[in-house]
Structure 1
Amino acid sequence: MRQIAALPYTTSADGAMQILLITSRDTGRWVIPKGNRIKGLSGHRAAELEAYEEAGIHGIACPASLGRYRYDKRKRNGNAREATVEVFPLAVTGQLAHWPEKGQRELRWFSVRDAASAVDEPDLQAIIAAFREPPRQPGRFIAMLLWFRDKQNERTAMFSWFHALMPKQGRFFEQFEAHTVTLVAGADALARLLKGGPDMADHIKTISDREHEADDIIREVLQDVRRIFVTPFDRSAITGLIGVMDDAIDQMNQTAKAIALFEVTEFSAQMQDMSAIIVECARITAEAMPLLRSLNLNATRLHELTERLVKLEGHADTLHESGLKALYAQARLGNPMDFIVGNEIYSHLEKVTDRFEDVANEISGLVIDHA
C-alpha cells in the first residue's frame, strides 16, 4: 500500500521550529496527517488535503518529498498490511476553526526533538530528526580543542596560524542569518501571492519590503569586508555567499513586479509548485547559515543541506519545462500574449531556484576550504 503524508511545521520569529502531530483515531498514538493517494492529484497536493481533513491546517506543501517510512496498517478484520508513506514538508500558514475530523483527534505542537521521540516508526523518527534546527554552538574550550585536533597532523603556513589565532571581527554570521530571515519571509509571501486571492497587493508589498531590508544587510556586509582586518573566511567567499543570497530575494521581487505589471491573478499548478520549492529552499538556507559558525562540527549536516538544495533546483527545472510546455499548448489555442506573460513569470521563478543552487555551491566551497 502506497500512501502520502504531510509533515506540518512552523518557524517562530526567533527561529524555533515546531512540528504538528495528531493522534490516530484507532490507537491514539502520535502520527502525522496521512492517507491514500488520490487519483488525479500529485502526492504533495493529496498531502495538503489530508492535512486539512485531519488537522484543519492549510499551508504550502513542497512537491519534493523528505523521504519515506513504513508501518503496518491494521485492517478491521485484524490483519495487517505494510504501507509505504511518502512524506512532504508543509509550511503551515493557518489553522481553520472547523474541519472534517475536528474532535476526532488530538492536535499538539512539538519541538523537533520531541516530535521525533513521540512517533513510533523508526524511519519517520529519522525523517523528523533530520528536519531539525541548527545545533547549539560549542563552548570556546571545546572549539579550541577541535581546532587543534584538526591541525595536529597538518603543515600550516605561518600566516595561516597567525590568521587563525587572531580574534575574528565583524558581524558576518549575524548578517548572514539576518538575511535568511528576509529570504524566508519573502518566499512565504511569494507562495501566498501565487495562490491568488484578495491579498495579492499585500504579499507584493511584503516581498518588496523584505528586498529593501536585504539590500541594507548586504550593504553592511560589503562595508565590513572593506574595513575589517581579520574575517572568518576569505573575503571573496563572504561577498560571494551574501551576493547569491541577495540575488535570490531580488528575483523574488522581480517575480512580484512582473505579476503586478501584467495584472496576473491566476497561476498554474507548476508555478505554485515552484514557489513551494522556493519556500523549502529558504528554510534550508536558514538552517544552514548558523552552522557556518562551526564548520568542522557541522560539515556533514551542511553537505546534506546543500545536496537537498541542488535536488530541489533540479525538481524546479522539471516543473519549469512542463509548465512552459502546457502554457505553449494553451496559447496556441487562445491568446499568444498569455505565453509571453507566463514565460516571464516562469523565468523569474527559475532564477530564484538557480540562486539557491548558487547558495549551495558557495556553502560547499566553504566546507571544502575550511572544514
Structure 2
Amino acid sequence: MFAWFQRLLPKTGNFFEQFEGHAAIGLAAARATARLVDGGPDRAALLSEVIAREHEADAITRDVLKSVRSTFLTPFDRSSITALIGALDDTVDEMYAAASAIDLYGLTEFAPEMREMAQVAVDAAGLASEAMPLLRDVNRNGARLHALTEQLIRLEGRADDCHAAGLRRSLERYGQSDTLRFVVEREIYKHLERILDAFEDVADEIDGIVIDHA
C-alpha cells in the first residue's frame, strides 16, 4: 500500500526552477523600486510594475508550498525549502511596502541616502539571483555560496549606515520646521531598511543549506 501511494506522488518537484524564478522576479522588482526612488518620470508605471512583481512572487511561493506538501523526495529538508522561499518572498513584500508608502505619501523627492539604499537592494537582489542556480549542486558550490552570503550581509550593514545617516539628515533638515516631512521620510527609510533585512534572512537560509548539505 505504501509503495502504491509513493507512485502517486511527484518524485522531486521543480524547486530549483522556482527559486531561480522567484529571485529573478525579486531582481526586477528591486530595479523598479530603485528607479522609483530615483524619481523617474514613469512613476505610475514603476508602481504598477512593483505591484505586478509582488503578485508573481506570491504565486511562485504558493506553488512551492503546495509542492512541498505533495512531493515525496525534496532536494533539501522541507523546512529549509519553505524557509528559503519565505525569505525570498519577504524581500519582494518589503519592496511592495516601500513602493506603497511612497505612493501613499505622494513622495517625489528622495534623499541621497534613500537612493543609495534602493541601489543596495538591487545589488542584493543580484547576489540572491546569482546564488539560486548554485543550489543545484551545493557540495560543489558551497564556497561560492558562502562568499555570496557574506556579500549580502555586508550590503545589509551598508544599508544600516545609510539609514542612520539619512535619518540624521532628515531630522536636522525637517525636525523643527516640517515634522510631517520627517515622519514620512522616517517611514520610507524603515521600509527600505526592511528590504535589506529580508535579504540578510535569505543569506542566513542559504548558509543553513550549505552547512547541512555541503
Q: Same fold (TM over 0.5)?
A: yes
Could you say which residue in structure 1 is the equivalent of 2:114?
271
- In 2, the alpha carbon distance for the partners of 1:333 and 1:344 equals 17
Name the counterpart of 1:282.
125
Residue by residue over 1:131-186, the C-alpha shift from the partner in whole angstroms, topping out at 9 and shown as x without a partner, is xxxxxxxxxxxxxxxxxxxxxxxxxxxxxxxxxxxx95101000000001110100
Counterpart in 2 of 1:346? 189
Aligned to 1:314: 157
Residue aligned with 2:175, SS: helix
Distance 2:40 2:147 in 1: 36
Which of 76, 95, 99 matches 1:256? 99
What is aligned with 2:136?
293
- The CA deviation at 1:195 is 1.0
For 1:198 and 1:275, the matched residues in 2 are separated by 17
Match of 1:203 among 32, 37, 46: 46
> How far has the Cα of 1:330 moved from its partner?
1.1
Q: 2: distance between equivalents of 1:193 and 1:301?
A: 32
Q: Quick one: which amino acid aligns to residue 41 of structure 2?
A: P
2:31·2:122 contact (CA, 8 Å) conserved in 1? yes
Matched, 1:179 2:22: yes
The correspondence for 1:228, drawn from 58, 71, 75, is 71
Counterpart of 2:53, as a letter, is R
Correspondence for 2:33: 190
User: Is the aligned partner of 1:245 residue 2:88?
Assistant: yes
Q: Extract unaligned runs of 5+ from structure 2.
A: 1-9
Distance 2:139 2:175 in 1: 55
Describe how 1:210-225 pairs up with structure 2 within 5 A: 210-225=53-68
The residue matched to 1:238 in structure 2 has which SS? Answer: helix
Determine if the alignment matches structure 1 residue 365 to structure 2 residue 211.
Answer: no
The answer as to whether partners of 1:251 and 1:352 remain within 8 angstroms in 2 is yes
What's the TM-score once normalised by structure 1's chain length? 0.55
Larger radius of gyration, structure 1 or 2? 1
Q: How many residues align?
A: 205
Compute the TM-score of the two structures, normalised by the length of structure 2.
0.94
Question: Which runs of 4 or more aligned residues in structure 1 lie more than 3 Å from their structure 2 counterparts after TM superposition?
Answer: none
Q: Which residue of 1 aligns with 2:199?
A: 356
| Larger RCO of the pair (alpha carbons < 8 Å, separation 6+) | 2
Q: State the distance in 2 between where 1:180 and 1:332 align.
A: 38
Whole-angstrom distance in 1 between the partners of 2:95 and 2:126: 15
How many Å separate the matches in 2 of 1:363 and 1:168? 23
Distance 1:305 1:277 in 2: 14
CA distance, structure 1, for counterparts of residue 210 and residue 41 of structure 2: 44
What residue is the counterpart of 2:4 in the other structure? none
Counterpart CA distance in 2 for 1:282 and 1:217 is 17
Classify the secondary structure of the residue corresponding to 1:284.
Answer: helix
* 3-state SS of 1:295 partner: helix
Partner Cα separation in structure 2 for residue 170 and residue 348 of structure 1: 34
Q: Which amino acid aligns with 2:169?
A: A
CA distance in 2, matches of 1:212, 1:204: 13
Identity over aligned pairs, percent: 52
Q: Which runs of 5+ in 1 are unaligned?
A: 1-166
For residues 177 and 224 of structure 1, what CA distance do their matches in structure 2 show? 15
Match of 1:332 among 166, 169, 175: 175
In terms of fraction of residues, the more strand-rich structure is 1
Report the AA paired with residue 105 of structure 2. Answer: F
2:47 & 2:24 partners in 1: Cα distance? 17
Give the Å deviation of 1:229: 1.1
Report if aligned partners of 1:168, 1:232 keep a CA contact under 8 Å in 2: no
CA contact under 8 A between 1:188 and 1:279: conserved in structure 2?
yes
Give the helix-richer structure, 1 or 2: 2
Please state whether the residue corresponding to 1:267 is helix, strand or coil. coil
